[in-house]
Structure 1
Amino acid sequence: MGDVINLNRFRKARTRADQAQEADANRAKFGRTAAEKARDEADAARRKALLDGAKREE
């Protein structure tokens, strides 16, 4: 006969793990300063301009 297990404990542990993963994603997405956001936008604009400048006319 197998051991008796509490399924609620496993369900709650899985829920906590999912919530922790979502919290990490939200911290990365929303937990940035205005300077970091501006820097990332400037980097993206610079990369886009460099890529657009390297395109050939067809």
Structure 2
Amino acid sequence: MAQQDGTEIRRDTPEHRTSTAERGSFCRARCTCGWQGPARRARSQARTDAHTHAPG
């Protein structure tokens, strides 16, 4: 079961609201537009993926 760490990454827009979700020892960036980043062991890298994805 996936767990969210509750971290909002970028300012919110209706199309792109990003967060991170954990599953086991992996963390993944997700967006409300349906995009998902690759599974990462480092939360910081998942956050970087979200920063790269979200417009801002």
TM-score normalised to the size of structure 1? 0.25
Tell me which protein shows more helix as a share of its residues: 1
- Which of 1 and 2 has greater Rg? 1
TM-score normalised to the size of structure 2? 0.26
Tell me which protein shows more strand as a share of its residues: 2
